[in-house]
């Protein structure tokens, strides 16, 4: 039986850092699932964000709903230079992002993501985002908002490919 | 290429129902675990307990919608992971569904994080969706056993299903 869910690449930080990039991503899959698990330095919480194909233009937008402590709310980011998907804190934080139809060259690329956190200031985030570009995604950078903390050693990112037939 | 997503074990509740489902001797050959659960029972919290750890070792954030309003809650010092919700046995053939992701379950140097999404649909005014995050605040044990139960008395009904998958980044 052909496999339908394969690891493409994985990286575990051996030291403090702010950015992890997977490049030369094959177009052989239909969708990509990105899984992050990690924690920040004591210097502060940081936005966790994705950047595709090193595009630093203001081509990203996202909408979130979230539960924070005892409050539920929603917000939206537009004309961003990163796809902002939540906040990594000094509590361990997880992110599962589904990047659908990532290799097509006719549509903008949607991302559906859930951030898992028990931090009382941030909590659960459910995000829908968009990279406003029709290019196939060939590289994915997981990074924080510049100037806000770092990922500690042991933080990890893995991308999986989901195969078509 | 080897698949990164494999079934480890499954359980289907038989006639008469069951109040507890256990997956034990979970191998440490994967990176993360995923549970996919379909249940029918009296509406309730679906609880996870790792390695028989029933102390106040679980901390949680939840976020829910009931068809009318949304709310959120922070819970600490819980004796189990209130991971998500069960289905409701108010409508024939309607089961609730949940997906639970357990990050880095075999690590022995940090706490284990669990993310879950669950829905409890029924043909009535109120139906529920829960998004939760839970932390098992034990650092030095890999998860090798998961007990799944509900917070109040009663059984999971016949045909409720529980699937445990391993996800590997090796």
Distance from CA of B59 to the nearest CA of A (A): 7
Task: Inspect the interface and report whether the beta carbons of A156 and B169 lie closer than 8 Å.
Answer: yes
**Which has more confidence, B102 or A48?**
B102
How close does chain A come to B16, measured CA to CA in Å?
Answer: 36
| Mean pLDDT of the B81-95 span | 79
Residue range B74-78: mean pLDDT, rounded: 86
List Cβ neighbours of B99 (8 Å cut-off, separation of 6 or more): B34, B35, B36, B37, B116, B117, B118
Taking a contact as any Cβ pair under 8 Å apart, which residues of chain A between 24 and 53 contact chain B? Answer: 35, 37, 39
ipTM: 0.92
Contact criterion met (CB below 8 Å) for A43 and A16 = no
pLDDT above 60: residue A90: yes
A44 pLDDT tier (thresholds 50, 70, 90): low
User: Closest residue of B to A39, CA-based?
Assistant: B110
pLDDT digits (tens, 9 = 90+) for A107-146: 999 999 999 998 877 788 999 999 999 999 999 998 876 6
What is the predicted pLDDT for the residue at A132? 97
Degrees (nearest 5) of the Cα angle B80, B82, B83?
A: 115
The verdict on A162 touching B (C-beta cutoff 8 Å) is no
Q: Which of B29, B86, B11, B80 is nearest to B51 (CA)?
A: B80
Q: Report how far residue B4's alpha carbon sits from residue B24's, in angstroms, rounded to the nearest whole number.
A: 21
Give strand ranges (E) for chain B: 5-12, 21-23, 32-39, 45-50, 58-65, 70-78, 81-85, 96-102, 112-120, 128-136, 146-150, 161-167
Q: In the predicted model, what is the mean pLDDT of residues B99-117?
A: 96
Instruction: Answer yes or no: is pLDDT of A14 > 70.
Output: yes
Whether B113 contacts chain A with CB within 8 A: yes
Among A7, A69, A118, beta carbon nearest to B4: A7
Q: Does A128 touch chain B (CB under 8 A)?
A: no
| Structure confidence at residue A74 as a pLDDT band (50, 70, 90) | very high
What confidence category does residue A63 fall into, taking pLDDT thresholds of 50, 70 and 90? Answer: very high
Say whether pLDDT at B90 is over 90: no
Does A66 contact B at CB distance below 8 Å? yes
pLDDT at A2: 62
Residues linked to residue A124 through DSSP beta bridges, in sequence order = A67
The mean per-residue pLDDT over the stretch A3-16 comes to 92
Q: Which residue of A has its CA nearest to B139?
A: A92
Query: Residue A147's pLDDT band (boundaries 50, 70, 90)?
Result: low
CB pairs under 8 A between A and B: 114
Q: Which residues of A touch B62 (CB under 8 A)?
A: 67, 124
| Residues forming beta bridges with residue A161, ordered by sequence position | A6, A32
Structure confidence at residue B81 (pLDDT): 83
A120 touching chain B per CB within 8 A? yes
Q: Does A96 touch chain B (CB under 8 A)?
A: yes
- Alpha-helical runs (H) found in chain B: none
d(CA A89, CA A77): 20
CA-based nearest residue in chain B for residue A92: B113
Give residue-wise pLDDT tens across range A45-59. 778 899 999 999 999
Q: Does B59 reach chain A within 8 Å, measured CB to CB?
A: yes
Judged by CB atoms closer than 8 Å, whether chains meet at A6 and B3 is answered as: yes
Reported pTM: 0.94
pLDDT tens per residue across span B31-65: 999 999 999 888 888 999 999 998 899 999 999 99
Could B3 and A3 be called an inter-chain contact, meaning their C-beta atoms sit closer than 8 Å? Answer: yes
């Amino acid at each position: 039986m052909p496999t339908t869910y394969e690891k493409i690449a994985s990286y575990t930080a051996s030291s403090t850092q702010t950015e992890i990039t997977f490049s030369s991503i094959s177009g052989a899959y239909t969708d990509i699932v990105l899984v992050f698990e990690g924690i920040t330095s004591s210097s502060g919480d940081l936005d966790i964000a994705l950047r595709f194909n090193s595009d630093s233009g203001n081509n990203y937008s996202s909408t979130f709903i979230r539960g924070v402590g005892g409050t539920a709310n929603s917000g939206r980011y537009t004309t961003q230079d990163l796809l902002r998907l939540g906040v990594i804190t000094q509590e361990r934080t997880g992110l599962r992002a589904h990047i659908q139809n990532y290799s097509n060259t006719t549509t903008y690329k949607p991302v559906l993501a859930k951030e898992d956190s028990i931090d009382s200031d941030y909590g659960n985030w459910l995000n829908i985002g968009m990279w406003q570009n029709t290019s196939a995604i060939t590289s994915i950078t997981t990074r924080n908002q510049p100037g806000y903390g770092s990922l500690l050693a042991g933080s990890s990112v893995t991308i999986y490919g989901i195969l078509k037939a | 290429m080897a698949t990164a997503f494999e079934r480890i074990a499954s359980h289907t509740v038989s006639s008469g129902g069951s109040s507890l489902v256990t997956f034990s001797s979970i191998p440490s050959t994967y990176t993360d675990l995923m549970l996919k659960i379909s249940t029918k029972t009296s509406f309730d919290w679906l609880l996870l307990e790792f390695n028989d750890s029933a102390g106040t070792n679980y901390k949680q954030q939840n976020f829910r919608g009931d068809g009318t309003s949304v709310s959120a809650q922070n819970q600490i010092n819980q004796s189990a992971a209130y991971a998500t919700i069960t289905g409701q046995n108010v409508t024939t053939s309607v089961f609730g569904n949940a997906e639970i992701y357990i990050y880095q379950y075999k690590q022995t140097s940090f706490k284990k994080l669990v993310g879950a999404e669950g829905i409890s649909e029924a043909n009535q005014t109120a139906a529920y969706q829960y998004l939760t995050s839970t932390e098992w605040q034990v650092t030095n044990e890999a998860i090798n056993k998961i007990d799944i139960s509900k917070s109040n008395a009663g059984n999971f009904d016949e045909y409720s299903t529980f699937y445990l998958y391993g996800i590997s980044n090796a």
